[in-house]
Amino acid sequence: IGILLFFYLTISSLFDLLDFKIFWFLNLRTYILALAIIIEGYFIGFQKWILNEYCLYCLIVAALLFLCFLLDYKLPLKEKILFSGTYASKDITIYKIAILGSFSLFFATSLVKIPFKPLKLNYPILIYEKNCHFCKEVEKFAKKHNIPLNLYKADEVISLVRLLNYNNIPILIYKENGKTIVIEGAEDIKNWLKKKYQKTEVKKQKEEKFQDIFKTIGKQNFLIKNDATSRSTCAIDQSQPCE
């Protein structure tokens, strides 16, 4: 539909530039632009007041529509009707309604409160349900590979799930380098986690191996002196005698 509307606006503007003017044809262009401006007021307001993030592509489209609307308004108020040879006045009421409607929707959107639960984005977020077998698979996978996750029940963030237009769980959300990643499905989530944390896991395994060696050396050096202690170990830098 959007492509057809843009095509119509292009053709009507081309006819206008060629001075091939049809009154109802130009009026329809004005009505389409007015409706588009009103809708853009809602979309921009939604991004501003609810999402608190802006879509660059959406802003570019909105700017182009506002520019076209301004150019349509700036055309002479007298339009010649083809074949009739007469002139008809252009009614500017529609322009006033469009601007007023756009600003009204923009500010009215700020009054709409969608109950979003604050999300901690320091680690990947897993949206799950207790009785979801695939959710448990992801949780077990994360625990096995020491991957930190922030867990949220689906009913706690249902508004966000509906906004993202997802109907299934588990869902993983992660924000990285200014981009938000959303992954649905246990297998895709596990593959992403494995790829994301593979280097971290290898590093942890090396650290654990080093710690095991270190503990072994520590036991060889200190257990002889403290073989009667209940803890069976002593800290290397411990200043007080082991108890």
Per-residue pLDDT tens digits for 135-189: 999 999 999 988 999 999 888 887 778 777 888 889 999 988 878 889 999 999 9
Angle, CA of 221, 223 and 228, to the nearest 5°: 155
Residue 236 covered by a domain: no
Among 10-14, 107-111, 194-198, whose mean pLDDT is lowest? Answer: 10-14
Q: What is the DSSP string of 146-171?
A: T---EEEEGGGSHHHHHHTT--SS-E
- Do residue 124 and residue 180 come from a single domain? yes
Do strands 150-153 and 78-80 pair parallel, antiparallel, or not at all (unpaired)? unpaired
CATH for 192: 3.40.30.10
The C-alpha atoms of residue 76 and residue 50 are separated, in whole angstroms, by: 39
Are both 69 and 122 inside the same structural domain? Answer: no
- Domain tally for the chain? 2
Q: Which of 82, 111, 140 is the last residue of a domain?
A: 111
Query: How far apart are the C-alpha atoms of 47 and 146, rounded to whole Å?
Result: 36
Residue 234 lies in a domain: no
Provide the pLDDT confidence category of residue 112 given band limits of 50, 70 and 90.
Answer: confident
| Structure tokens given for 89 | 């006045």
Residue 232 within a domain: no
Structural domain for 49, as ranges: 2-111
The rounded mean pLDDT for the chain is 75
For residue 27, what are its two tokens? 């009026």
If asked whether residues 87 and 131 sit together in one domain, one would say no
Q: From the CB of residue 191, how many other CB atoms can be counted at a distance below 10 Å?
A: 12
pLDDT score of 158: 78
Q: What is the pLDDT of residues 210-234, one digit of tens each?
A: 555 445 544 444 333 334 333 323 3
Number of residues in the chain: 243
| Domain shared by 21 and 40, yes or no | yes
Do residues 168 and 185 lie in contact, with contact meaning Cβ atoms separated by under 8 Å?
yes
Residues 107 and 16 in one domain: yes
Q: How far apart are CA 63 and CA 67, in angstroms?
A: 6
Distance from C-alpha of 17 to C-alpha of 204, rounded to nearest angstrom: 68
Is the pLDDT reported for residue 114 higher than 90? no
Is the same domain home to 131 and 107?
no
Residue 138: closest CA among 202, 91, 190: 190
What average pLDDT does range 69-98 have in this prediction? Answer: 68
Which of 94, 111, 128 delimits the end of a domain?
111
Residue 235 lies in a domain: no
Q: CB burial class (10 A; 0-12, 13-18, 19+) of residue 190? A: buried
